[in-house]
Every structure is written in structure tokens, then in C-alpha cells.
């Protein structure tokens, strides 16, 4: 199916959901590798793969769908215990998830899946499944099921046909409602599998959703979808009656049915209403197998009847009776005995109600929404619902109830009913036609019932022309569904459907050969880069709307105050009101800022989930035994920061695995556990989020760092002698610096840590490192919660105002100038027992230093990592919230400056970079 018919936002949503599924799959696979018999883990992996297959199939992403389908197949075999999990199978599934992730990335950046070679993955999976079948000892039944799955990969080749639709809007409504039905079915099945809620209620909800699918597809003449929904509905009806039970195997088959139904929806051309037919024999055979398995306890009469139904289902749509009299008779057969007088009263009642409904709908179309008309329409539908319930016509009652609920929802949401007129008229006409057919089936058993003229609804549909309609059922022995809308099905289409018996098709092209799946050109035209999206809790949006409402009220108050001044009202009174309104505006703007920041916040989990796989692969490559422990995955950061922090973390994790952790034997010789550990942590600290990457490896040797730095010409020998240990460790961030003795594809090129530092600096963050030889290394990354607004301390330096981010300020104080001392040509002060280095901020910014003698010196103490330093300023001003603005390329590289902000008076104030200021101060000293 062409992807041009989908809104780009649909693809954006799919990209988000697909990544969530893949982020769930990968860590679970790594857990499964260590615990291969864990069925719960297998189910947790199977579900997202299943969802990914279904969603990609619906969107027409054929290569992605094919690969996900193969992944689902092998996972299902693992779940069923037919094959055993091992490292090679895990590697294969992980390779498949990598390919799926690449396809998702291509979809986001290029608008299509790209031309990714996945044939070898599909071939390998097929080979594993084939070997499993050859070695299986279960014999024919397992082989038969496998054969059906293989047959399911061959698409039908019959000619396309057109659906019966009134308009493209009608088609769009059908697809949208069908998608809602399938979503509900999927959720219900998963809930039932977990044992949540009342099982009987869930089964009834399942039945209603499949029933709606069957009825709606019947109206538009979608043969395959109608037949499959009918097959499932018949099966569910026996479960509702208690004759059968729904076990995990049945749930799996029904989930497969949902996939096929999604695929069938994907075969509709939304512009023309043309359908590319698919055979459904593969999945209907699975459903029939369920019936056979469940019906062993039924008596012989029930078995015979069900066998007749199965025979009829194989030739569904192949034959059609001349009229629907037989179907009508069947409907009557299954109803409770009806009193002729009750039936006559029922008929008169519903005729009157349908007359009232048609009158109300006509008026609504001409005059628009009128509460009395809408209420009357609702009351009439409720009356029909209650009347059908009283007569015991449960299915008719359910349809009337659904239609009444539709009207009731419209009443509660102030919907414009003139826009709903078309769909409501359609629903009422369908309901009336269903009741008439039902009553016709009863008429032969009620001899004294007076003849009533059949109502003739205005809309010409197949459901309203029974003489031309073809019933789904052609076997009088079948227990026919009592009110499925009949369809106009041309003989040619019937022949096509019949000729598909024995063939099957995999959803959305999943049955391509390996070569085709890998090398075929994508069907979709490039949609271009999809927009970046974020999922927002509905409550946050409600809060945002409430705040906007308050903002509008305050705006109106300002306008009122302006008029009061113009009219000569007392100035002092207006000033007081103005002050109150300004305070209210400040509160609202603060709340707006917090709410919008919260909307942009997302958990770092989406980044962290990448690394278990990375550590696994690198530890294998390096012949090391390493575990990764993650903490604080729920910690939230601004989405823009989360999107950009991934690459720096990859560098740090790689370095920890490649350089930090020793080989197992080396660790054992040093008295450590053979298994090394890498910790990845995230936590809130003040107005920042701190991410730590720590290992328990060999640590960083300061003396080795100095020697390498001298060797590479980064520092000279004199600097090395005077360098403190923490400064030597910081050399790891110098451009081109590397202590690796050999260059690998993992690390050792000397182009990593300086890039990491620059990337983090671009996020307004900082990185620090602490290490102990023989014990390990810890990198700490401090990131702002948001890149847009910060709290800042305003200071004056040489007559100019500067802003220092408040989260870097440890404290402020004023000291007596006489307390300054010098040690090794560095200014220091002892503050509460701590020796602090002191620098003049004006000197660091290359501004003229005030030489005037000052008795008292304002001091800002900045904390970078675990280290503190004091900076002398001219004056301490105030704390203020500032909006960060970029300086652009021209001024962006100025040392010590990270950005600028605009003050309330329009002046521009530069924002200092505390980490860079600290670095400049330590390097000069």
C-alpha cells in the first residue's frame, strides 16, 4: 500500500512507538541470554515484536514487516519450547533488532525504510525453523501447522476489486473505526492473558469489537475482512456460551488474526477504495483447529453441526442463495419462543421510534444542532435498545446500545450534529434493516402476525436491498449470525474469493524471499525528514490550557486598568490594582514556565537502554567478563539534551570497557572478581542532572598521563613536575591525547575525550573525572535541566554586569583583603578550615583590574566537580532568572563566555561559563 496516504504525523508516532518497542526488546534479550528458560521474559520480548510487525504492516513498510514477522516466528518457537535459546540465536535476534532500528532511523530521516540488506538474517531464521521441524518428534500435527505458516507467505494474485462506499470520507471513517476496534481487541487479549479484570466482560467486549468489524466490512463489501471477522465471531460466540474456553494458545491465534486484519486494512487504497485481495485460509485454518481442539466434549449432534459450519466456511462467498429467506429463517430458529402479541407490539413500537428518528435526523441536517431533537433521537434509540432487550434479541440490543452511546457522547461534548448527520443516518438505517430482516425470519413461525410493509430507508446500500444481496452463509445447516448486514458482491469477486482457497498471504509483504526482502526498492516516496515529537501527558496539557485562560484574564485586567486611568480614576487605587495584576502575571508566567519545562522533560531511560547491548558486544570482542548496572533511568531531562547526550556516553562506556577494565585473569591476579562492573547512574542534584559512568578497573595513573603528555608535546617537563595529580588526570581531555598502546576499532585514536568534552560543553554542561589507581575511574557529567532558562547570580566586574549560572555557585561572601595569602605565586585564603585558590575575575576576562585599595572583597565561590575556587568581583548584585541566547559563530568561541541574556531594560548581559573560568584560572596559576 502506498505510504502517500498517511499523514507525516502518523510516521512520527510510529517512529516513537517503534523505538520504544526496540528499547524494550534489546535489554530483555540480554537478560534472556543469562536466563534462557524464563517464559516471562520471552513473552515480554514477543509482545513488542508482535506490535512492531502489526504497525509496520499497516503502514505498508514491507521490509520492516517481513523482518519483524520472522523475528516474531522465532520468538514464538522459543516461547513454545520447540527450540532452545542460545548465544547464536540471541545474536541473530539482536542483529534483526539492529536492522529494524536502522529502518526506523531511515524512516525518520528519509521518509522510507531504505535499502537495507536483511536477506541473510531472514535466511538464517528460516534455516533454524526448518532444522527444528526436521528434528521434531511430534510428527504430523506440528508439521501441518508449520506448513500453514509457510503457505501464509505467498500473497494472493487475484485481481483487485472496488469496495462499495458512498464517499472517501465514508471509507476513511471505516478504516479509522476498524483501527480502533483492532486496538481495543489487542489490548483486551493482552489483559486476558495477564488475568486482569472479569474474563466474561473481556470476552463480551472482544465479541462486540469483532462484530463491529464484521458488520462494517459487510456494508462496504470487503469480502476477506468480513469473512475472517465472521469466523472469529462464531468462535467467540461459543466461548461466550461456555461451550469452550479461551486459553493462551487461543489468545496467540487471535493475536495473529489481528495481524492479518491489520494487513487487510493496509491493502485498501485510500484514494480509490480499491482492495488488493489476500487469502485468509491460513489463519482461518488456525481458528478451525482451535474449534476442533475445543469441541471434543460436545455431543454428536453439536459435532455434526459444527463440521457442517467448517465445510461452509472453506467456501465462504463462493455461493450465494437467490435471496435471504433462508438466512431469515435461521435467525428465527435461535431466538426464544416469541408471543405473537408481544411481537406485534414490538414491531409497532420500533416502527414508531424509527419514524421519530428519521424526522429528527432530517431536521438536524437542515437546521443544525438542536438540543430537543438530539435528546429525542437519543430517547428513541434507548427505547429500541430496551425493546430489543425485552424481546431477547441480544445482538440487536447491543447494536442499538452502541448507536445510542454514539449520540450520547455527542450530547456530552457539544458536537455539531449536522456534521454527524451522515454517520447517524447510516447507523439508524442499518439498525432498522437488521430488525426488519430479523422479524422476517420470525414471520414464518408466527402465523397470525399481521403483514407489515417493510420500511424503505432513504440511503441505497446493499443492506437495504435484500433481493440483490448475497448472504455470507450459503449452508442452511449453519447457525447463521442473526444480523450481519448483507453485501453487494459481484459474481466476479465471489469467484476470486473462492479461488483463493488453499492459498495464503503474509501481512504486508512479510513473505518475501530473503533476497527480495533485502534488495527491493522501497515502495514509498520519500516523505522527507519527519518532525521531532514528544509524548505529553493529557493532564499537563489541561494545566497548560488553564494557565493560558488565566493569562487572558490578566490581559483583560491590564486593559481595564488602562481605561481606568484614561477615565481619571484615582491613581493610587489604580497603582495598587496594577501591582496586584503584575504579581498575578508573574505567578502565571512562572507556572507556565514550569509546566512547559515539565512537558519537555523525558526520562533518560531511552538513552540508557542502548548500553547493555553495547557492553555485551564490547566485552565479547575484548574477551572480558563485564556487567553493566544502570541506576536512575527514570531521571528526567529536557528532550533536546536527551537526544544529544547519547554519543558522549557511548565514548565513555567504550573507554571504560576497553581501557578501564582488566582481563579476567589480570583482575584475578589483583585480587578482584573476574567479572568487572560498569555503573551508569543518573540523579538530580540541585538544578542539574548528574550522569556518572564508573568502573572498578585499573584507574588512571597520573604519572603515566604526565609522561604521555610530555611525549606528545602537550606539556613540557617543568609543567609535568609541578602538576598536581587531579590536573594530570584531566589531561585525558586534551585534544589528541591517548594512553592506548594499540589502536583498535573501539578506542585508542586520541579523538574521543576532547570531543566528549566539547559536546557536553555545547549542552551547557561540564564533565569531570576522578580516579584511583587500581580501584577504578568515575566520569561525572552535570547537565542543566533545560537549555532555555536558568537561575543566575548577577555580578559586576569592572563596571560591567555578568551572569554566573547559580547551580555552579557554591556560596558568596565578603572577605577582608588582608586575609589573602600567596602560596607558589597563587592567591589563597583559608575559609572555615579549607584552603581556597583565589583569582580576580576581571583579570581572567582580560579586563582592566581595579588597582584601588579595597578593604573588603566580594567573593563568588564556584564548585566544579569536587573542587572549589573563589573569584573576586566588584560587586554582588542579585539572583535573577535569565533566558539563554546564543552568541552565534562570531562570538561563540570566546573563552569563558557561554551565552548572553537580555535584561528587562533591554541591555545585554554576558553569561559566564563556570567550568571554563575555572580551567583558565588553574592553567594561569
Q: Provide the 10 A C-beta neighbour count for residue 190.
A: 16
Separation of first and last alpha carbons in the chain: 68
Which position has the grid cell 487605587?
573
For residue 403, which of 216, 225, 194, 277 has the smallest C-alpha distance? 216
Pairing of strands 161-162, 834-840: unpaired
Q: What is the pLDDT of residue 661?
A: 92
CB 183 within 8 A of CB 127: no
State the number of CA atoms in the 13 A half-sphere of 620 facing the CB. Answer: 9
CB 653 within 8 A of CB 678: yes
**How far from 30 is each of 233, 605, 652, 841, CA to CA, in Å?**
39, 16, 21, 51
CB 429 within 8 A of CB 457: yes
Q: What is the pLDDT of residue 793?
A: 93
Residue 129 CA to residue 93 CA, distance in Å, equals 13
Q: What is the pLDDT of residue 852?
A: 64
CB 843 within 8 A of CB 825: no
Q: What is the pLDDT of residue 197?
A: 53
Q: What is the pLDDT of residue 803?
A: 94
Give me the count of residues in the chain. 925
Answer left, alpha or beta for residue 771, where phi above 0 means left and psi between -120 and 50 means alpha.
Answer: beta
Q: What is the pLDDT of residue 394?
A: 82
* pTM assigned to the model: 0.47
Residues 6+ apart with CB under 8 A from 71: 49, 53, 93, 96, 97, 100, 125
Pairing of strands 800-805, 908-912: parallel
Residue 856 CA to residue 876 CA, distance in Å, equals 12
Q: What is the pLDDT of residue 864?
A: 81
CB 182 within 8 A of CB 261: yes
Residue 514 CA to residue 44 CA, distance in Å, equals 27
Residue 214 CA to residue 487 CA, distance in Å, equals 11
Residue 336 CA to residue 807 CA, distance in Å, equals 77
Cell of 575: 497603582
For residue 620, the surrounding DSSP H or E stretch is helix 611-621
Q: For residue 718, with 0-12 CB atoms within 10 Å meaning exposed, 13-18 middle and 19 or more buried, which class applies? A: exposed
Average pLDDT per block of 10 residues along the chain, 925 residues long: 50 81 84 78 83 78 87 84 82 88 85 82 85 53 37 44 68 82 84 69 83 79 85 82 77 87 86 81 83 55 44 37 34 52 76 87 79 84 81 84 81 69 81 85 50 39 34 33 35 37 35 35 37 69 85 86 84 87 86 82 85 85 90 88 88 90 92 93 85 93 88 84 84 75 48 79 85 92 79 91 90 88 84 88 84 81 86 91 78 78 88 87 75
Q: Provide the 10 A C-beta neighbour count for residue 7.
A: 9
CB 254 within 8 A of CB 473: no
Amino acid at each position: 500500500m502506498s505510504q502517500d496516504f498517511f499523514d507525516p504525523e502518523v510516521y512520527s508516532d510510529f517512529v516513537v512507538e517503534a523505538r520504544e518497542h526496540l528499547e524494550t526488546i534489546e535489554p530483555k534479550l540480554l537478560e534472556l541470554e543469562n536466563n534462557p528458560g524464563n517464559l516471562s521474559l520471552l513473552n515480554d520480548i514477543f509482545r513488542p515484536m508482535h506490535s512492531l510487525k502489526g504497525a509496520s504492516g499497516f503502514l505498508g513498510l514491507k521490509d520492516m514487516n517481513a523482518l519483524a514477522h520472522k523475528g516474531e516466528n522465532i520468538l514464538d518457537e522459543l516461547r513454545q519450547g520447540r527450540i532452545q535459546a542460545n548465544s547464536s540465536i540471541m545474536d541473530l535476534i539482536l542483529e534483526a533488532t539492529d536492522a529494524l532500528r536502522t529502518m526506523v532511523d531511515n524512516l525518520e530521516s528519509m521518509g522510507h525504510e531504505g535499502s537495507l540488506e536483511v536477506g541473510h538474517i531472514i535466511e538464517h531464521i528460516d534455516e533454524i525453523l526448518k532444522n527444528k521441524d526436521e528434528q521434531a518428534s511430534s510428527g504430523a500435527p506440528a508439521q501441518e501447522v508449520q506448513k500453514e505458516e509457510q503457505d501464509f507467505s505467498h500473497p494472493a494474485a487475484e485481481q483487485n476489486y472496488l469496495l462499495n462506499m458512498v464517499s472517501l470520507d465514508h471509507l476513511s471513517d471505516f478504516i479509522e473505526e476498524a483501527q480502533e476496534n483492532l486496538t481495543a481487541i489487542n489490548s483486551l487479549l493482552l489483559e486476558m492473558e495477564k488475568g486482569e479484570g472479569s474474563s466474561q466482560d473481556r470476552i463480551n467486549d472482544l465479541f462486540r469489537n469483532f462484530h463491529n468489524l464484521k458488520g462494517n466490512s459487510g456494508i462496504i463489501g470487503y469480502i476477506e475482512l468480513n469473512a475472517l471477522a465472521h469466523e472469529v465471531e462464531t468462535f467467540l460466540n461459543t466461548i461466550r456460551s461456555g461451550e469452550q474456553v479461551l486459553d493462551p494458545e487461543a489468545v496467540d491465534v487471535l493475536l495473529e488474526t489481528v495481524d492479518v486484519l491489520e494487513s487487510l486494512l493496509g491493502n485498501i487504497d485510500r484514494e480509490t477504495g480499491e482492495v488488493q485481495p489476500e487469502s485468509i485460509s491460513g489463519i482461518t485454518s488456525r481458528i478451525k483447529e482451535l474449534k476442533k481442539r475445543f469441541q471434543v466434549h460436545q455431543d454428536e449432534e453439536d459435532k455434526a453441526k459444527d463440521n457442517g459450519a467448517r465445510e461452509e466456511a472453506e467456501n465462504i462467498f463462493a455461493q450465494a442463495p437467490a435471496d435471504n429467506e433462508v438466512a431469515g429463517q435461521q435467525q428465527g430458529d435461535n431466538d426464544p419462543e416469541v408471543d405473537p402479541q408481544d411481537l406485534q407490539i414490538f414491531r409497532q413500537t420500533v416502527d414508531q421510534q424509527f419514524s421519530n428518528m428519521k424526522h429528527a435526523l432530517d431536521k438536524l441536517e437542515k437546521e443544525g444542532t438542536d438540543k430537543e431533537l438530539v435528546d429525542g433521537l437519543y430517547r428513541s434509540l434507548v427505547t429500541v435498545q430496551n425493546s430489543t432487550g425485552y424481546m431477547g434479541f441480544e445482538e440487536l440490543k447491543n447494536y442499538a446500545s452502541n448507536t445510542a452511546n454514539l449520540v450520547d457522547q455527542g450530547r456530552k461534548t457539544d458536537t455539531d450534529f449536522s456534521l454527524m448527520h451522515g454517520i447517524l443516518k447510516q447507523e439508524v438505517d442499518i439498525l432498522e434493516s437488521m430488525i426488519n430482516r430479523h422479524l422476517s425470519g420470525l414471520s414464518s413461525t408466527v402465523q397470525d402476525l399481521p403483514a407489515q410493509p417493510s420500511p424503505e430507508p432513504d440511503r441505497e446500500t446493499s443492506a437495504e436491498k435484500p433481493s440483490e444481496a448475497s448472504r455470507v452463509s450459503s449452508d442452511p445447516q449453519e447457525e447463521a449470525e442473526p444480523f450481519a448486514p448483507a453485501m453487494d458482491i459481484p459474481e466476479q469477486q465471489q469467484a476470486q474469493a473462492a479461488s483463493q482457497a488453499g492459498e495464503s498471504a503474509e501481512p504486508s509483504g512479510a513473505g518475501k524471499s530473503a533476497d527480495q526482502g533485502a534488495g527491493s526498492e522501497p515502495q514509498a516516496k520519500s516523505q522527507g525528514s519527519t518532525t521531532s515529537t514528544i509524548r505529553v501527558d493529557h493532564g499537563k496539557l489541561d494545566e497548560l490550557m488553564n494557565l493560558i485562560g488565566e493569562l487572558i484574564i490578566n490581559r483583560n485586567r491590564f486593559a481595564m486598568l488602562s481605561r481606568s486611568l484614561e477615565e481619571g480614576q484615582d491613581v493610587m487605587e489604580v497603582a495598587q490594582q496594577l501591582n496586584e495584576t503584575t504579581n498575578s502575571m508573574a505567578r502565571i508566567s512562572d507556572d507556565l514556565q514550569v509546566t512547559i519545562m515539565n512537558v519537555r522533560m523525558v526520562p533518560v531511560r531511552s538513552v540508557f537502554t542502548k548500553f547493555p547491548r553495547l557492553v555485551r558486544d564490547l566485552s565479547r570482542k575484548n574477551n572480558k567478563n563485564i556487567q553493566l548496572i544502570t541506576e536512575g533511568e527514570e531521571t528526567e531531562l529536557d528532550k533536546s539534551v536527551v537526544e544529544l547526550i547519547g554519543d558522549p556516553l557511548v565514548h565513555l562506556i567504550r573507554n571504560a570497557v576497553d581501557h578501564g577494565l582488566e582481563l579476567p585473569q589480570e583482575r584475578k591476579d589483583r585480587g578482584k572478581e573476574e567479572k568487572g562492573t560498569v555503573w551508569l547512574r543518573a540523579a538530580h542534584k540541585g538544578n542539574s542532572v548528574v550522569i556518572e559512568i564508573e568502573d572498578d578497573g585499573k584507574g588512571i595513573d597520573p604519572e603515566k598521563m604526565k609522561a604521555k603528555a610530555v611525549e606528545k608535546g602537550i606539556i613540557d617537563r617543568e609543567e609535568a613536575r609541578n602538576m598536581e595529580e587531579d590536573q594530570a588526570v584531566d589531561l585525558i581531555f586534551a585534544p589528541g591525547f591517548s594512553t592506548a598502546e594499540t589502536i583498535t576499532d573501539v578506542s585508542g585514536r586520541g579523538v574521543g575525550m576532547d570531543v566528549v568534552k566539547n559536546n557536553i560543553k555545547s549542552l551547557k554542561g561540564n564533565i569531570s573525572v576522578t580516579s584511583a589507581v587500581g580501584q577504578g575511574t568515575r566520569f561525572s557529567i552535570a547537565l542543566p535541566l533545560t537549555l532555555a532558562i536558568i537561575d543566575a547570580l548577577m555580578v559586576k566586574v569592572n563596571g560591567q554586569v555578568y551572569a554566573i549560572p547559580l547551580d555552579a555557585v557554591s556560596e558568596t561572601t565578603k572577605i577582608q583583603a588582608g586575609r589573602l595569602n600567596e602560596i607558589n605565586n597563587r592567591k589563597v585564603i583559608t575559609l572555615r578550615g579549607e584552603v581556597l585558590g583565589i583569582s580576580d575575575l576581571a583579570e581572567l576576562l582580560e579586563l582592566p583590574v581595579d588597582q584601588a585599595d579595597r578593604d573588603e572583597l566580594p567573593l563568588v565561590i564556584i564548585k566544579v566537580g569536587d573542587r572549589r575556587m573563589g573569584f573576586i568581583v566588584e560587586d554582588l548584585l542579585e539572583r535573577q532568572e535569565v533566558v539563554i541566547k546564543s552568541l552565534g559563530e562570531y562570538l561563540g568561541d570566546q573563552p569563558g563566555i557561554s551565552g548572553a541574556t537580555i535584561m528587562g531594560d533591554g541591555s545585554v548581559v554576558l553569561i559566564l561559563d563556570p567550568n571554563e573560568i575555572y580551567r583558565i584560572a588553574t592553567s594561569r596559576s
